[in-house]
Structure 1
Amino acid sequence: MNKKLQVWTPLLFSLAMVAGIFIGFRLKEAMPGKSFFSIDKRDPLQEVLNLIENKYVDTINVNKLSDTAIDIILKSLDPHSAYIPASEVEDINNDIAGSFFGVGIEFSIIDDTLNVLTVLPDGPAAKAGIKIGDKFLAVNNTGIAGVKISEDAIRKLLHGQKDSDIKVTVFRDSQKQVITITRGMIAMNSIDAAYMIQDSIGYIKLGKFTEVCYREFMQTMEGLQKKGLKKLILDLRDNGGGVLDQAVEIADEFLDGDKLITYTEGSHFPKKEYRCKRPGLFETGSLVVLADEGTASASEVLIGALQDWDRATIIGRRTFGKGLVQEQYDLSDGSALRLTVARYFTPVGRSIQRPYTNGRKAYFDEINHRFTDGETLTADSIKNDTTKLFKTVGGRKVYGGGGITPDIFVSMDTAGYNGWDKKLYTKGTLENFGYHYYLSNEQALKKYKTSQDFVSGFSLSDNDWSYFTTIAAKDSISLNWITPKSKTLLQQELKSYIAHEIWRNEGFFETMNVTDEAVLKALEVLKK
């Protein structure tokens, strides 16, 4: 038996090898590109980066090169998928969370020096004794005055860990002093302003959808209801979106029953519906929503639901047109990928995403073209995609494929502006005037106990206007030929920036809204 086994063993072993090889090839066919025993092929992109790092003639920052390669890949997908370098992830996450750890000031760089514009009441800086008008010369022995440092770089110096100390060298009353500030949590309020604009009519300016937006909104609504709120103006102009779930929760407060608010769907994400799930706080009161070309994403989810259900009157201009949903994925090196995973649709099935087949540049340039082709001036110039026609629950025509068209169009008031206004904003001329005016007239302004008193009782003098033209001239902006209407508009804005110094955003919007055409139209609609 042993001799027979010795004879047949090589043959049996050979048959086993043949069978193994056959099975291996069949498995390879079942898994294209993979070998049964071998490891996956190396990524060509990583191979190229390794060769550059080890063989290239000059020293190269491979990490930076890798970031560039990722950006190029993402640009071939859609305009809103993005790679976030590790150095920027914290700021992005803070913006979503609606808070960060810092000192609690608003500042502007004037003549290469940080000037404190406002101090957050009861914030870390206020508790340490920082005042409006203080000039920061150094932060933790790092000089920041006269060195042309960017605002982003200064923010990185001011932000830090909770309860950590920061020493700032302050110039005040012609003297230097060192002040220690203990960093604390700073809330980035999603509500910019909220007040009763008229009897029974409330106004809420919602700036962005953070993770705490819904809670802040509910607290604001309850406060206004105690003051007699029956009708509401919800201002979503220049609200670029944020956390989708928060927009859905707010929509639920305006819609009754189990109405569909939105649904999302993607190639790798099954359809998901978002419906009303609780009795709302404001299901029956008259509602107007203000929108413009800066209204995007989660804001459009909210507006789309209200428009499709005929729940609100939308006033303003066509919204941005972003109907893509992104999810953020953390990567191993601390960076992150914000990847588009689905589209969202309004209750009647509209996708309001604008086309992006011509590339990112053309996609974002489309917004600028609205200002040059007349769309911001006349409703007839709005370019709706008539092939994507839908109807609201009440039978009104609405369109998909290019943002949300308002029910009532309000043009951008360009009669008073002739191009120079952009310089006033980019150079911070208006903000600087409000800051310097406040410092020079702090005692006189104390007679205005509330922002309402200021709105009704304050006006700029001829000397104040002359002072402003002097500041503008330093920024290479001549106002000698300004029209009467332009002057009236600018004076209202200057007044608003002064109010901002005292009451921050709430004072600013309360003052601006007195002459805001969209707000005035909203009041007209709500009074009918």
Structure 2
Amino acid sequence: MKRKFEVWLPLLLSIVMILGMYIGYRFATGQPNKKIFKLDKATALQEALDIIRTRYVDSVKIDTLEANAIQEMMSELDPHSVYLPPAALKMADEDLSGSFDGIGVEFSQIRDTVNILHVFKEGPSDQAGIEIGDQILQADGVRLTGKDISTDKVISVIRGKKGSVVELELFRNEKKKTVQVTRGSIPKPSVSAAYMMNKQIGFIRLDEFTSTSYREFMEAMENLKKLGMTQLIFDLRSNRGGYMDQAIEIADEFLNGDKLIVYTQGVNSPKTEYRCKRPGIFEEGKLVVLIDELSASASEIVAGALQDWDRGSIVGRRSFGKGLVQEPFLLSDGSAMRLTVARYYTPIGRSIQKPYTDGKKIYMDEVWQRYATGQLYYADSNKISNGKAYKTSGGRTVYGGGGIMPDIFVGLDTSSYSREINKILLNGSFNDFIFHYFLDNKKILDPYPNPQVYNSKFDPADDMWLKFTQWAQKDTVNLSGVPLFEKERLEDRMEAQLARYKWRDSGFYQVMNTKDTVVLRAIQELQK
């Protein structure tokens, strides 16, 4: 087993493992949560709860017993059928809503203190005068400093209903400052980057399929076409999925006629087909879709449909393998079950769902096994075990039963960082340094009109590296003997992270994509 791996993999895999357990599809109608039907006849479970309520020796919390009973039942089903208490349901719905009610900032807890990393332009905090680098000490009198304060705690305090007011105590320039912020509706874009890589090739990265993804995607496509785009790289890497209807709408924009995009079917759910229904914005033109082991659910609907119809090339690594459809049922106490009611199938009948008969833990650890067995590194190891073979519309052989296999495999970079650099990347010290370097050099990015000019002309020289080595010494990390190739790779990351503070995620990807092996391989495919 390889000892070292790309530093982003554990974080992103955790997101898929945890959030993927409770964020499922809604059917293509996108309707709100359904209330569960009521049974006229009491079940044994209901009878048992009634007996406990009326006869047990001590007082008991029946709600807790009910929740635990439902959780236990759901655990006996597939890995993606889940019970959501009211608070978790609110969080799950908000995550895919495309917006949230809050104060309009991004923050990070650095050295046990909440630091403002970004202030949304013209948002509530911007209007209140909050700046990047401000530290939040209190919110409505609630302390937000110290090792015992979690990110969830911070979010629960600073977020709130639109129109409500929160009083923040800030620390800026060695002084305390109190401001009042009126919360508002804050957009949460799912398209994190959309730009022209050259005169012909456009690039769009979609992070998840939220309720606004199709609209965002169309706006990005229209803008890029106006700039002359005739070829597209569509990046779905680490996209854990989301709303099924958004995936269908986006796939429709690449396929012509009334082609089948996906169909769903289950024992208690009749076969339902979802087909193209309109002329698409990019039915012609070269197309490459990027996927990896963390691309799941709705991402696999899009990639599977395009692969089955031989519409473009799929580049990267085998996708996660989630082909189960969840339908929400709202319970009377405000909680909900998200129950798997069907499987989805690609146009030629492939089920992308990987096996889960050996239990939830083995199912969720399967991606780690790909890492251990070399499947994330080598094409000859990257395969679907015992997958059934199918033929695409063009006669190519593809497989079902374990994710989408890319047409062109690009493994993880086998070159690894030294233990010293891995330490400061994994403990957050690297990101902390970039943040403070930006605060100390806010005007350093002013000469550059866009990320591409910045990428070609910005040179941090030795000054930035020297400051970083001094910063690393705080974590007892000595970088004096770091090999040149590691230093250059880390400087590339520094440059990309720095770009994020001026141009957001789009700036980050515009810089990193110039060195990204998967993106570079996609460009080669388009230029054939």
Determine if the TM-score, normalized by the shorter chain, exceeds 0.5.
yes
For 2:471, give the aligned amino acid.
Answer: I
Taking structure 1 as reference, are residues 269 and 477 closer, same or farther at Cα in structure 2, changes over 3 Å only? farther
Taking structure 1 as reference, are residues 470 and 329 closer, same or farther at Cα in structure 2, changes over 3 Å only? farther
How do 1:444-459 and structure 2 match up within 5 A? Answer: 444-459=444-459
For 2:48, give the aligned amino acid.
Answer: E
For 2:45, give the aligned amino acid.
Answer: P
What displacement does 1:424 show?
A: 4.3
Deviation larger for 445-454 or 231-240 = 445-454
For 1:72, give the aligned amino acid.
Answer: E
Taking the aligned partners of 1:48 and 1:421, their CA distance within structure 2 comes to 56
- Partner residue in 2 for 1:462: 462
What displacement does 1:429 show?
A: 2.5
Taking structure 1 as reference, are residues 423 and 152 closer, same or farther at Cα in structure 2, changes over 3 Å only? farther
- Partner residue in 2 for 1:47: 48
Taking the aligned partners of 1:331 and 1:217, their CA distance within structure 2 comes to 34
* CA distances 1:115-147 after superposition (whole Å, capped 9, x unpaired): 001111111111111100000010011111225
Taking structure 1 as reference, are residues 397 and 122 closer, same or farther at Cα in structure 2, changes over 3 Å only? same
The answer on 1:402 being equivalent to 2:407 is: no
What displacement does 1:423 show?
A: 4.7
How do 1:82-101 and structure 2 match up within 5 A? Answer: 82-101=82-101
Taking the aligned partners of 1:479 and 1:300, their CA distance within structure 2 comes to 41
Taking the aligned partners of 2:434 and 2:418, their CA distance within structure 1 comes to 22
What displacement does 1:462 show?
A: 2.5
Taking the aligned partners of 1:56 and 1:475, their CA distance within structure 2 comes to 56
1:209 aligned counterpart, secondary structure: coil
How do 1:20-419 and structure 2 match up within 5 A? Answer: 40-41=41-42, 43-44=44-45, 47=48, 51=52, 55=56, 61-146=61-146, 148-417=148-417
Taking the aligned partners of 1:483 and 1:336, their CA distance within structure 2 comes to 53
2:197 aligned counterpart, secondary structure: strand
For 1:318, give the aligned amino acid.
Answer: R
Gaps spanning 5+ residues in structure 2: where? 1-39
Indicate if the aligned counterparts of 1:204 and 1:234 stay in contact, CA closer than 8 A. yes
1:413 aligned counterpart, secondary structure: coil
What displacement does 1:383 show?
A: 2.9
What displacement does 1:74 show?
A: 1.1
- Partner residue in 2 for 1:500: 500
- Partner residue in 1 for 2:524: 524
Taking structure 1 as reference, are residues 42 and 259 closer, same or farther at Cα in structure 2, changes over 3 Å only? closer
* CA distances 1:329-358 after superposition (whole Å, capped 9, x unpaired): 111111111111110000110001000000
Which of structures 1 and 2 has the bigger CA Rg? 1
Taking structure 1 as reference, are residues 463 and 304 closer, same or farther at Cα in structure 2, changes over 3 Å only? same
What displacement does 1:243 show?
A: 0.4
Taking structure 1 as reference, are residues 51 and 451 closer, same or farther at Cα in structure 2, changes over 3 Å only? same
1:344 aligned counterpart, secondary structure: strand
2:321 aligned counterpart, secondary structure: coil
- Partner residue in 1 for 2:490: 490
* CA distances 1:348-390 after superposition (whole Å, capped 9, x unpaired): 1000100000000000111011111100110100232345000
Taking the aligned partners of 1:245 and 1:77, their CA distance within structure 2 comes to 25
Indicate if the aligned counterparts of 2:383 and 2:405 stay in contact, CA closer than 8 A. no
Taking the aligned partners of 2:309 and 2:133, their CA distance within structure 1 comes to 50
What displacement does 1:518 show?
A: 0.4
Taking structure 1 as reference, are residues 482 and 330 closer, same or farther at Cα in structure 2, changes over 3 Å only? farther
Indicate if the aligned counterparts of 2:49 and 2:62 stay in contact, CA closer than 8 A. no
Taking the aligned partners of 2:235 and 2:458, their CA distance within structure 1 comes to 25
1:438 aligned counterpart, secondary structure: helix
* CA distances 1:28-73 after superposition (whole Å, capped 9, x unpaired): xxxxxxxxxxx8455336625863896467x765534433332222
Taking structure 1 as reference, are residues 340 and 391 closer, same or farther at Cα in structure 2, changes over 3 Å only? same
Gaps spanning 5+ residues in structure 1: where? 1-38
Taking structure 1 as reference, are residues 264 and 437 closer, same or farther at Cα in structure 2, changes over 3 Å only? same
- Normalized against structure 1, the TM-score is what? 0.88
* CA distances 1:469-489 after superposition (whole Å, capped 9, x unpaired): 343444465545533332222
1:181 aligned counterpart, secondary structure: strand
- Normalized against structure 2, the TM-score is what? 0.88
Taking the aligned partners of 2:425 and 2:335, their CA distance within structure 1 comes to 33
Taking the aligned partners of 1:61 and 1:379, their CA distance within structure 2 comes to 54
Taking structure 1 as reference, are residues 239 and 246 closer, same or farther at Cα in structure 2, changes over 3 Å only? same
Taking the aligned partners of 1:421 and 1:193, their CA distance within structure 2 comes to 28
Taking the aligned partners of 1:213 and 1:338, their CA distance within structure 2 comes to 22
Taking the aligned partners of 1:277 and 1:420, their CA distance within structure 2 comes to 54
Taking the aligned partners of 1:255 and 1:262, their CA distance within structure 2 comes to 12
Taking structure 1 as reference, are residues 200 and 157 closer, same or farther at Cα in structure 2, changes over 3 Å only? same
For 2:52, give the aligned amino acid.
Answer: L
Indicate if the aligned counterparts of 2:103 and 2:184 stay in contact, CA closer than 8 A. yes
